[in-house]
Structure 1
């Protein structure tokens, strides 16, 4: 991502649809427009295709978007086996 111009669209996340949507909401709350790409593949295969979507932002928003995602991650502890919700 070193040669993008501010008008380019750049990837800030690649992974699961659920995580991409969480990050997209966090970006929206910070006033950053984003797009999830790869939904067609997820729809075709359901959740069987891991890491099948990408979250894209404008090049000019990349640094702010990455900071927003980092902030979101620091405020929202990921679920692990130790802190998973009871079934």
Structure 2
């Protein structure tokens, strides 16, 4: 899923590849790739890399799971915060 060919195939569905060598694939020379290329150009011009904390995935997963519990199972805001904090600290 991270190789240039697979990323180019995913781009046909609107995914914006992160691997620069992917843009050498033939798909990116077609009109169908214009939107993905425009997004890539915008991100390249208007963004800068950020370094995430080592536990970022735990935090992100914790937030997503806590939000699902709150929305789907009627959890409270306090439960949301407790669950998210627990994931971040765990």
TM-score clears 0.5:
no
TM-score bucket of the superposed structures, by smaller chain: under 0.3
Q: Name the structure with the higher strand share.
A: 1
More relative contact order, 1 or 2 (CA 8 Å, 6+ apart): 1
Structure number, greater radius of gyration: 2
